[in-house]
Amino acid sequence: MRFAFAPYLLHFKEPGGTSRGVMTEKPTFLVKVYDEHDPSHFGIGEAAVFPGLSPEADGNYVWKLTEVLANIAIGKATDLTRHSSIQFGLEQALLDYANDCEGIYYPGPFTSGEESIEINGLVWMGDFDKMIERIEEKIAAGFKCIKLKIGAIDWQKELEMITFIRSRFSPEQLMIRVDANGGFSMDNALPRLKQLADLGVHSIEQPIPAGNPELMAFLCQVSPLPIALDEELIGKGTTEEKQQMLDVIKPQYIILKPALCGGFSGGEEWIELAVERGIGWWVTSALESNVGLNAIAQWTAAIRAKGPQGLGTGGVFTDNFITPITLEGDKLKYNPAVKFDYSQFGDLKWHM
């Protein structure tokens, strides 16, 4: 068995705004595993590193990929406890290889086209008029749940926007989730959470910055609005770290991003620990290319995730890969009639 990796740069069709800033491009790495006697037959995956968010995204990242390459060649294990995205990519490549290199990671009703995944419609930050336009596009497309990135423009404008949506659609008609990406402070968090709760918002992701467990625990205890942890999960690589975080903060929900929470195996451990504690969960993608998104969608279906999931569609990038994943209304589907084309990875600069 051999391992290889190749860098790839994704470009946004429109700048993507969050409270952390505006993104115009997103680096990632494609990885593959193959038999050295037949390198044309390989399992593909994506090590979806996220600079500015992943602790592993530093000057040593390529060296860690090189270590994996060397260790697999000699049959030695690599500690990926602190390298979530590489764990994520390697799991994909191995699963694909084990399933005959056809882009199938978790065979089942989803990959046979019998089942689909309900997703939320993500609305990126922008000016007031632009966000209203994007919201109306999502609703017209049939989404029953929308997720709004908030915390970057004027708060009163954001509140006005949510009030406008609620004047047209009740909570029974449209679920609204919001993601502050840590954009609130302890000075303004509670009154804002109360205002959002009064508008029938379903939940808020990461109201204050990660790394403040006592303050987050306090918010989760007193907030009138359910709180979902997102960035707070990043970097928790051991079972003990995960248990401690859940036991200290006691959130209402956790958000699972496989590229950031230990791959599929790490995500499944998070789910087990959350269920033991009565904590809800759903799956979200993290701006992967369609390679990673294809794998996440299959995993999400395989673990029988309930309710709207936060999976992307790959449509935000100009230079994405082609996979059998399609979007119909608010349903993500796998088209078994579409063959996964491995030739699209042939021109990448592979390190082997």
Catalytic positions, written as ranges: 149, 257
- Dihedral sign for Cα atoms in the order 250, 284, 141, 104: negative
Using DSSP's 3-state secondary structure scheme, residue 28 falls into strand
Token pair in block for residue 26? 């997103």
Nearest to residue 294, comparing CAs of 44, 124, 97? 44
User: How remote is the C-alpha of 124 from its chain's centroid?
Assistant: 15
First CA to last CA across the chain, in angstroms? 12
72 torsion bin: left (phi>0), alpha (psi -120 to 50), beta (else): alpha
**In this structure, what DSSP letter does residue 284 have?**
B
Distance CA 4, CA 71 (A): 12
